[in-house]
Amino acid sequence: MPETVSTAGVSGPHDAEITAALGTRSVVLVGMMGAGKSTIGRRLSARLRLPFLDADIEIETAAAMSIPEIFEAHGEPHFRDGEARVIARLLDHGPAVIATGGGAFMREETRNRIRLQAVSIWLKADADIIMRRVKRRVDRPLLHTADPAATVGRLIEEREPVYRHADLTIWSRDVPHEKIVEECIDALHARLCAGGTAAAAQETTETPGTLDATR
């Protein structure tokens, strides 16, 4: 079920323009666990006045099981197949802001669908921030290892070259959430609206927290 968040008092000059330019395309957030995809996604959806969909929650609803239960009962490959199906369905019902699980973008078929039906944002986060955030929760089966920090390091190494294929990159760091949301809005506007292409964005240099238009 799509979630909605109160938008009272929150809006910016570009919000409606971005939503219009998206048409039926969604905004898809990708990146590591703990990067803030759900937190930022929920706020971004409120700004754009679009439904917010959390792919992990949609998978749990479809399976009537929690993610740890799916991993435990059926294994990761089964979870990944279900994840790909759910994301394909969500993309077919855009526009929305969709937060994906950290492994979803690793599947080529899902990346292709996202490229065609959405604008993707990689929320890039450092290992220490990820570790600090994921420590608060125990519901990530991939981190049920003897050395979760080493596992996060390995996943970052494997995944970052693939996350890099997202349309936009925003540095997720310890600043107020609204700042990250604002950076997402600016990056979306530069890509979708300013001049109609990414041309305006190409002048932006890659610095933490800004659009990387070179990808």
Least distance (Å) from ligand S3P to the CB of residue 141? 6
Name which of 206, 211, 169, 178 is nearest 193 in CA terms: 211
Rounded to the nearest whole angstrom, what is the least distance from the CB of residue 175 to ligand S3P in the complex? 20
Q: Which stretch binds ligand S3P (CB under 6 A): 18-26, 119-127, 138-146, 200-208?
A: 138-146
- At closest approach, how far in Å is the CB of 137 from ligand S3P? 8
Output the smallest distance, CB 48 to ligand S3P, in A. 20
C-beta of 22 vs 155, nearer to ligand S3P: 155
Among the residue ranges 101-109, 110-118, 165-173, 176-184, the one whose residues contact ligand S3P (CB under 6 A): 101-109
**Binding residues among 118-137 for ligand S3P as defined by CB under 6 A:** none
Q: Rule CB under 6 A: is residue 95 a binding residue for ligand S3P?
A: no
Kindly state the smallest distance separating residue 213's Cβ from ligand S3P, in Å: 25
Using CB under 6 A, which of 2, 12, 141, 148 touches ligand S3P? 141
If one asks whether residue 57 binds ligand S3P (CB under 6 A), the answer comes out as: no
Measured distance CA(171)–CA(67) in Å, rounded: 27
Residue 142 binding ligand S3P, by CB under 6 A = yes
Instruction: Answer yes or no whether residue 102 interacts with ligand S3P by CB under 6 A.
Output: yes
In order, the DSSP letters of the chain are --B----TT---TTHHHHHHHHTT-EEEEE--TTS-HHHHHHHHHHHHT--EEEHHHHHHHHHTS-HHHHHHHH-HHHHHHHHHHHHHHHHHT-S-EEEPPTTGGGSHHHHHHHHHHEEEEEEE--HHHHHHHHTT----GGG-SS-HHHHHHHHHHHHHHHHTTSSEEEE--SS-HHHHHHHHHHHHHHHHTGGGSTTTGGGS---TTS--TT-
User: Residues interacting with ligand S3P, by CB under 6 A?
Assistant: 33, 37, 56, 67, 101-103, 140-142
